[in-house]
């Protein structure tokens, strides 16, 4: 049994427990165990056979027994008991955005809703809005969501890039270390740094292709080989990720890497360009139509050069005008991770972070940053761990004291991530905000208001003289929560007019602004900053995802404000211009 199947069963059990009104900590325990199972690079079935399941985080004795029962019998007894109490299809109702298990249970008890079909019928008949505490907005949301909700299991193999990239890198490194290996590169959407991916694509050369394919099958991350031979291999990891390894001669490496990097849209446009020149381009090479000679390249640049184009960076290959820009000599010199000098969004144990100020500062300095803004949450952000005005004033003094003895070339900034109220108001008085080096304002509550109300809410913050930046503008969580309604074009126009910056949040669950909005904002004249939203020292590495989004948005270092040293960045802040 694959880890992905075990994770799905544990997720189902967590929902069933919640439908049954179980203690929230039990529900959370099973949700966390499902995440552990999904992300474990080692086979849980193997661990179970060795009696080692409790070595996994979030898996105690009771959970281990349930996993063992699932592996042995194909089901969990506790889940079967609950399925006798509730229709298993009721779990699907909780997939509708805004309908948690408690609401699904109410709909079951009061309206007889048992599945998505009966949910739709209840909404169409106007019965949901009659329930106290739900109302017409919930009913409208149900009807809208049912039109776009994927079928159970549909696209469920799509994962965050942050889940796919470590697997791809580990497999690529292992294959590159094999004696038969020549070159090994990650291809596909992971190489383009897409927000989500379905699988891992690897392109390689080898002195013995079959041996390299066998090495993939024997890797500890792989649960099963689905095909193998001299052309490569296809396999499945324990986490349910598909892996496709293609092995080609060195002379063909550039052609194959270009083709399997994609995207499909980019490759279609490249083929159309080739056809207009009497050429045919494919993974096997470039040839004249009707001719026998095939041009093969060890490097991708050869493919583009033959078609009269300069090299196009993988992040741009989405069929969004990059070929025309390349032909006109207008491709941007994209932002690089090494260009970034500071991080302007991070949290410590003062709110919901996992590390102290000193630990975050040292980790940022080790990564080569020249400044780091500590921006713990303000009082109304809705998560419980927040900073009172009195405590924030104390933090300002602590950071000032830190800077007096800070290592040369590094500076901490006293900041705050201030929640934007529904009326656009901020949590702290202006006198306190004025004492900060940096204020980033974000929406954390009341997502269900109208697009007009949300836009006005954010515009009020943009116009505030002490707000330096807007954080994670659309509030989305990839694969989990859709963005709330907001007029991004109006926001960009106002931000440019008021000198308010807007961030690309590098949390791989967010990447917000997305590439489309970031490009729109930059073209409107908004100063963009790339941030990590780090809640621990390890998540300072989120900067790679912020930079990736900026690159996919065609941004250069000049368009990203925190590529500047602090003495050059500080005057760009709104407060500096008004002082």
The predicted-structure confidence for 308-323, as pLDDT tens digits, reads as follows 999 999 999 999 999 9
Half-sphere exposure of 308 (CA within 13 A, CB side): 11
Asked whether 357 and 348 are in contact (CB, 8 A), the reply is yes
- In the 3-class helix/strand/coil scheme, how is 53-66 assigned residue by residue? HHHCCCCCHHHHHH
Give me the mean pLDDT over the 287-301 stretch: 91
- Name all domains of the chain by residue range, CATH numbers in brackets: 3-148 (1.10.150.110), 159-247 (3.30.460.10), 253-327 (3.30.210.10), 337-578 (3.20.20.140)
Confidence at 379, pLDDT banded by 50, 70, 90: confident
Q: Helix-strand-coil percent breakdown of the chain, rounded to 5?
A: 50, 15, 35
Q: What is the pLDDT of residue 155?
A: 43
Confidence at 135, pLDDT banded by 50, 70, 90: confident
Q: What is the pLDDT of residue 143?
A: 83
The mean-pLDDT minimum among 216-220, 380-384, 419-423, 521-525 falls in 380-384
- Per residue in 156-208, pLDDT (tens digit) is 567 899 999 999 999 999 999 999 999 999 999 999 999 999 999 999 999 99
Does the pTM of the predicted model rise above 0.85? no
Sheet containing 285-288: order of strands: 279-282, 285-288, 294-295
Confidence at 451, pLDDT banded by 50, 70, 90: very high
**Cα–Cα distance, 444 to 379 (Å, whole number):** 11
Specify the pairing of strand 242-247 against strand 232-237.
Answer: antiparallel
Q: What is the pLDDT of residue 133?
A: 82
For helices 101-111 and 3-19, the axis angle rounded to 10 degrees is: 60
Task: Pick the closest to residue 244 from 253, 252, 232, 254 (CA basis).
Answer: 232
Structure tokens at 412: 């901490």
């Amino acid at each position: 049994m694959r880890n992905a199947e075990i994770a799905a069963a544990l997720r189902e059990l967590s929902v069933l427990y919640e439908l049954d009104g179980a203690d929230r900590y039990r529900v959370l325990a099973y949700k966390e165990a499902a995440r552990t199972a999904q992300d474990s690079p080692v086979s849980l079935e193997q661990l179970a056979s060795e009696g080692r399941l409790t070595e996994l985080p979030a898996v105690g004795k009771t959970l281990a027994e349930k996993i063992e029962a699932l592996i042995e019998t194909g089901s969990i007894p506790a889940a079967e008991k609950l399925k006798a109490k509730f229709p298993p299809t009721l779990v699907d109702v909780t997939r509708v955005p805004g309908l948690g298990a408690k609401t699904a249970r109410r709909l079951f008890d009061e309206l007889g809703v048992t599945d998505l079909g009966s949910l739709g019928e209840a909404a169409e008949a106007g019965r949901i809005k009659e329930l106290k505490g739900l109302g017409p907005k919930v009913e409208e949301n149900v009807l809208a969501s049912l039109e776009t909700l994927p079928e159970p299991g549909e696209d469920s193999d799509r994962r965050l890039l942050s889940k796919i990239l470590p697997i791809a890198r580990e497999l690529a490194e292992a294959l590159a270390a094999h004696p038969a290996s020549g070159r090994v590169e990650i291809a596909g959407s992971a190489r383009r740094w897409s927000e989500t991916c379905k699988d891992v694509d690897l392109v390689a050369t080898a002195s013995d292709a079959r041996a390299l394919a066998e090495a993939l099958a024997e890797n500890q991350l792989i649960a099963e080989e689905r095909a193998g031979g001299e052309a490569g291999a296809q396999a499945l990891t324990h986490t349910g990720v598909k892996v496709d390894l293609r092995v080609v001669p060195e002379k063909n490496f550039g052609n194959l890497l270009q083709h399997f990097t994609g995207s499909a849209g980019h490759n279609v446009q490249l083929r159309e360009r080739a056809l207009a020149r009497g050429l045919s381009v494919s993974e096997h090479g470039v040839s004249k139509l009707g001719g026998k000679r095939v041009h093969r390249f060890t490097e991708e640049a050869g493919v583009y050069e033959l078609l009269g184009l300069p090299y196009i960076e993988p992040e741009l290959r989405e069929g969004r005008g990059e070929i025309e820009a390349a032909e006109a000599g207008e491709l941007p010199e994209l932002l690089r991770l090494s260009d970034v000098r500071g991080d302007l969004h991070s949290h410590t144990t003062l709110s919901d972070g996992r590390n102290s100020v000193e630990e975050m500062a040292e980790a940022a300095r080790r990564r080569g940053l020249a400044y780091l803004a500590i921006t713990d949450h303000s009082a109304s952000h809705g998560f419980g761990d927040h900073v009172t005005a009195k405590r924030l004033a104390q933090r300002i003094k602590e950071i000032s004291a830190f800077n007096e003895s800070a290592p040369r070339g590094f500076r901490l900034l006293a900041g705050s991530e201030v929640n934007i109220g529904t009326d656009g108001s901020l949590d702290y008085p202006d006198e306190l905000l004025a004492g900060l080096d940096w204020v980033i304002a974000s929406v954390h509550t009341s997502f269900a208001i109208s697009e007009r109300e949300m836009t006005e809410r954010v515009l009020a913050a943009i116009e505030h003289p002490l707000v330096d930046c807007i954080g994670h503008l659309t509030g989305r969580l990839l694969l989990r929560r859709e963005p709330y309604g907001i007029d991004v074009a109006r926001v960009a126009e106002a931000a440019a007019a008021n000198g308010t910056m807007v961030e690309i949040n590098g949390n791989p669950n967010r990447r917000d602004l997305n590439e489309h909005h970031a490009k729109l904002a930059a073209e409107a004249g908004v100063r963009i900053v790339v941030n990590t939203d780090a809640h621990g020292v390890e998540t300072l590495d989120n900067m790679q995802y912020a930079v990736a989004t900026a690159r996919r948005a065609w941004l250069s270092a000049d368009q990203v404000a925190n590529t500047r040293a602090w003495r050059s960045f500080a005057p760009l802040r709104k407060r500096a211009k008004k002082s």
